[in-house]
Amino acid sequence: MPTYPVMGQGIDSTEVLVDLAMSERGNSNVLRKRDFSTSDKRVFTITHIVNSTDRVTLYNFYTTNRLVSFDFTWVGNGVTYTCMFTAPPSFINVGGSFWQVTQYLAEI
């Protein structure tokens, strides 16, 4: 399985827990929940400040693995999660040859 490139993660990177239980009301107006997973899953927004070379590395990893799962280690707790991309990365030039790259991942 591919492994997400090891690069510093920005302090504005986020981890959000997603509850995979669905709530709905039936004809009797009673609230019911159905659970689609035995545990919560995570969605990550990861930012990196990188040079032009690392920007290309991150983009190439995205284009090569955009449809498959890969291992990603979250710096917040050191745990490795199996993830997939949920959107293309965004790139903002922050000066000279430095870029802010934002990647969007979801645990599978």
- Residue spans of the domains in the chain: they are 14-107
The contacts found for 88-97 with CB under 8 angstroms, 24 or more apart, are 88/62, 89/58, 89/59, 89/62, 91/55, 91/59, 94/49, 97/51, 97/52
pLDDT for the residue numbered 22 = 73
Q: Which residue has the higher pLDDT, 30 or 20?
A: 30
How confident is the prediction for the chain on average, in pLDDT? Answer: 93
pLDDT at 33 over 80: no
pLDDT digits 0-9 by tens, 39-56: 889 999 999 999 999 999
In this prediction the pTM is: 0.85
pLDDT digits 0-9 by tens, 76-105: 999 999 999 999 999 999 999 999 999 999
Residue 45 near residue 102 (C-beta atoms within 8 A): yes
